[in-house]
Structure 1
């Protein structure tokens, strides 16, 4: 099974145009079967009153990175939803670029399990999390492009 590069570009554009993810400013920098990288350039809008990145921003990065890491193995017509999200905040971030690296540890037809870590520009671990995800048949993205290349 090999992901179609045109489908990956369509997913990246869909995420870029998604209202909430556009508001946050995150971008899918890389997407492959079982992994993804989400990038975020920090701005003042990401900070809480004490001048550090709001925990909700970090949770969104973990949620998004685990989601997309598990997504590509699903059939074309299936969507995905997070069943749970567990994370640990390990270091305060205040500025620069964050990189969320997602990895699907256990892909499944119905339930998948993924992890993600967030690194700052120095490569230091800011947060780590895991998520259980459930497939939703009939709820796939309608992008007009085949998800997989023919074998």
Structure 2
């Protein structure tokens, strides 16, 4: 018998997704990103903006970086949660440091800074292949226990 999603801890769920044993969330189609690594309090994603993510001036819209950073910070918090416990972002502060390039592979990482019974705080970054920091975020997530 197959486990339901609610029976996986956050870390187990994300690691199963990274191995391809469970499908990735649909947001990964809209915002091309894939989970490369998940460990307790840490995640690493690959991401790449494309022609679907451009603003009226032809640059990559800031919403691309904000969405990727919301994903890595939230998933980092999720790695610390037991089965059946959810979370939701209540605050996301994003700093755009350099333009996000189009059609260039990027690495996004999320790391937990603090976790309690009701709140998780994490930081995230997006870097290019050379390691240049393009965007940074901090997020607070409410932990949803039943």
Q: What range is the shorter-chain TM-score in?
A: 0.7 to 0.9
| Paired residues for 1:124-139 under 5 Å | 124-138=132-146
CA distance in 1, matches of 2:122, 2:29: 23
Deviation readout 1:64-88 (Å, 9 max, x if unpaired): 0100111121120101101100011
Report the alpha carbon displacement of residue 121 of structure 1 after superposing the two structures with TM: 2.3
Q: Could you tell me the TM-score, scaled by structure 2's length?
A: 0.82
Give unpaired runs (5+ residues) of structure 1.
139-151
Deviation readout 1:97-139 (Å, 9 max, x if unpaired): 121110000012210110001101221111111001111124x
Give the match's secondary structure for 1:132: strand
Report the alpha carbon displacement of residue 5 of structure 1 after superposing the two structures with TM: 7.9
Find the counterpart in structure 1 of residue 53 from structure 2: 46
> Of the candidates 60, 63, 66, which is equivalent to residue 56 of structure 1?
63
Give the match's secondary structure for 2:123: strand
Give the match's secondary structure for 1:122: coil
Contact kept, 8 Å, 1:99 with 1:119, in 2: the verdict is yes
> Of the candidates 110, 125, 140, which is equivalent to residue 102 of structure 1?
110
Report the alpha carbon displacement of residue 89 of structure 1 after superposing the two structures with TM: 0.5
Greater RCO structure (CA 8 Å; 6+ sep):
1
Number of residues paired by the alignment?
Answer: 135
Report the alpha carbon displacement of residue 7 of structure 1 after superposing the two structures with TM: 3.7
